[in-house]
Structure 1
């Protein structure tokens, strides 16, 4: 049975199904809190992106933004789908290596890469290092000279375009910790330094205007600005980028208030804008790269919790408490992010008219996962399933209050597979030393 509401979901015997697997059985088998990914949804979105590029007949890369959720199993799926990935730390590089991911299909981002991380990237032949500041150009040159080698690089620029999104999710405006500013000629200065360095092959330009964006205009403006900059640099320095990397940030549906267009429609608009502008400027059409993370992994994720205590006070919205919270999903506390949920073992039951709050177990008043939701009457032991939790949930998980990080399970075609074990208490103190 398929339920029609803010999120379409399949049920069987009144239980929420995920990837052909009973979510209640998953909760009982692996324990809760539990993070579950429907792998078929991941593959489906990747293929939607690829189809846009192929329909437009342009060279491209779909580069998965690892920071949304990185694990050995995630990188294995990306490898199976012939994806590129972007990484932002030595830890993500190391994890990709454990997955036997092809390093030539890796971009290395970050605004404060260490010498150790740059050495790791260069020694493991990472495909391209995306330079973020002048200090980094100097550090990378030092590493390349010491290792007597070369590498591909891109410049991350700030195009001066602000995304209409949460303040912390805006990264393309001039006042940003990321990238070389275009208007002040920082980007041009950086280009000269790279072009003059025989150890650096200037592959292209990168820009990222923000995250969880619902409007196409900002992406189109940024794409056009990248082409304009390419034309300017072609005229001034006889340099033309082989690649324009337009980043990611395509918004997804988290709650009934969200009304995003399909992520692939953003990409179609970007590609068409670059093709048109390149033709107008008389420059060669570059390869176009995108870096979606949330839009690939977010809708595929579910968080399963067991309901515990309930607090009912006359005239006050009730608190329904679950066995997880801000330790496995910090976004509601950090960004005031909103989510939808169902009682997985009562998935077809009619919700009560009186809304409740879903509270976490952490010792913080702000540990509220959902502020306002109508659910069937809850009982201790019920399983609550939150939708679209696949991005920046487990990736930002902590051991606050010394709670354990949850297990992660991949499901596909009716089969479930444990891909990250639940932490144990022994894991919590493994690195602790007695005083």
Structure 2
């Protein structure tokens, strides 16, 4: 439970509900925030995938990202079942490694990549290129060449410069790559400014209002070097309300109707992107994949009926909604510093180098004491990192037991998406490993960096 949502115990945060003051409350797990196999045993130790975190910390060290493989697979299946009849592309930018790609292959998922490195990872792990989509607002000639050579299923074009580059490659190679046009539909998603991607004043896509998207379609169709499959829209991230998708679908399908009327082409596909939200705190209420699918299918069907056009084949791109809840970060407490009348600062052995989202997006997270139960009263705590930076905050406000102490393990849920992907070596801190657990077995799928790794790149 977040302090600013339910009231806190000290200072300016106000008077909290009395039930928040019981030790039992801070020992419990709030299920929507955690992987599906996560529980606490009778001793208060967090368990996931048949393993307890104390043994994981002993075997793999801390900090570590712990991924519940069964949870990840289950969420893939939820989206495939919910969006039956559509194509589901896992958005690799949320988190990608070869082991994840192999799971996607086994679960018969498609994959969305947005860089040459992500494409290389996908190909190295055996993903069928026909099931890969390539995104990006500034794809290099090298990246486009590699995508065409590999035979990726579709390339989402983002600028006139890119259309020119890709057309030249197509002519040179004597091939006709499949493309979609990314359309900026002018929808302001209910999300942070830096992760809203469909309003006009940003770097992605072709403007709908300014006529650039229609011009891109006309150019591609006139040149004939690229196969235009459809239109693409992505309105942001961490979205809970499907009203944004409704407006986006209406606008992009109006463009599709104009392309049919004026250019004489029925585009067979439509991608409404991803951005589906997950629960980071008790205030977040994400929708199940099946509910999202039902509403989005209805939105597209209603709009097509109103415009009198054939319903295109739909695709979506969940990333965070699949990997986000499947993973938590496990830390060890190093110091505990009470500030009278304010809160207690609990410092852990990671921080902004393994989770920059709190500092970058003002993101909210939750936390739990993971290595034992406690009968101490809850206190208002701030979980912070070890970096030389005042903004090095992992969890802004959380209730933890008053006897939290050095050596305790703290777990922060919902860290599967973007935390490892955006991790850095700030202060020359090596990045943590990713440990996958399933049926009582644990394996490293991304190893911990070492100081030797850091020095290997330093050629000075």
Distance 2:459 2:134 in 1: 34
User: What is the alpha-carbon distance in structure 1 between the residues aligned to residue 29 and residue 426 of structure 2?
Assistant: 37
Secondary structure, counterpart of 1:395 in structure 2: coil
1:35 aligns with 2:60: no
In terms of mean alpha carbon deviation, does 256-265 or 151-160 score higher? 256-265
Distance change in 2, residues 1:350/1:196 (3 Å) = farther
- Asked if 2 retains the 8 angstrom alpha-carbon contact of 1:66 and 1:86, the reply is yes
TM-superposed deviation, 1:414: 2.1
How many residues of Structure 1 are paired with residues of Structure 2 in the alignment? 429
Q: State which of 28, 32, 40 in structure 2 corresponds to 1:11.
A: 40
Q: How does 1:407-418 map to 2 (within 5 A)?
A: 407-418=433-444
Whether contact under 8 Å (1:322, 1:358) holds in the other structure is yes
1:396 aligns to what SS in structure 2? coil
Q: Secondary structure at the match of 2:293?
A: helix
Write the distance in 2 (CA, Å) between the matches of 1:243 and 1:366: 44
Give unpaired runs (5+ residues) of structure 1: none
Query: Aligned-pair distance for 1:184?
Result: 1.4
1:169 is aligned to 195
Distance in 2 of aligned mates of 1:157 and 1:172: 8
For residue 44 of structure 1, what is the aligned residue in structure 2? 74
The residue aligned with 1:226 is 252
- Aligned partners of 1:20 and 1:264: how far apart in 2? 28
TM-score by length of 1: 0.95
Give the TM-score, by structure 2 length: 0.90
Deviation at 1:140, TM superposition (A): 0.9
Aligned equivalents of 2:216 and 2:203: distance in 1? Answer: 16
User: Which residue of the other structure, out of 366, 375, 381, is the alignment partner of 2:391?
Assistant: 366
User: CA separation in 2, counterparts of 1:351 and 1:233?
Assistant: 66
Structure 1 residue 138: Cα displacement: 0.8
Deviations 1:4-46 (A, max 9, x none): 5364641224210112211221111000110011111112222
1:351 deviation in Å? Answer: 5.8
SS in 1 for 2:104: helix
- Matching of residues 382-421 of structure 1 within 5 Å: 382-421=408-447
The partner residue of 2:456 within 418, 430, 433 is: 430
5 Å-filtered alignment, 1:306-321, equals 306-321=332-347
The residue that corresponds to 1:137 in the other structure is: 163
- 2:332 and 2:408 in contact (8 A); partners too: yes
**Which residue does 1:183 correspond to in 2?**
209
* Residue pair 2:367, 2:410 contacting (<8 A) in 1 also: yes
Q: 3-state DSSP class of the match of 1:386?
A: strand
Q: 1:320 to 1:160 in 2, by over 3 A?
A: same
- In structure 1, what is the equivalent of residue 234 of structure 2? 208
**2-structure distance, mates of 1:174, 1:5:** 38
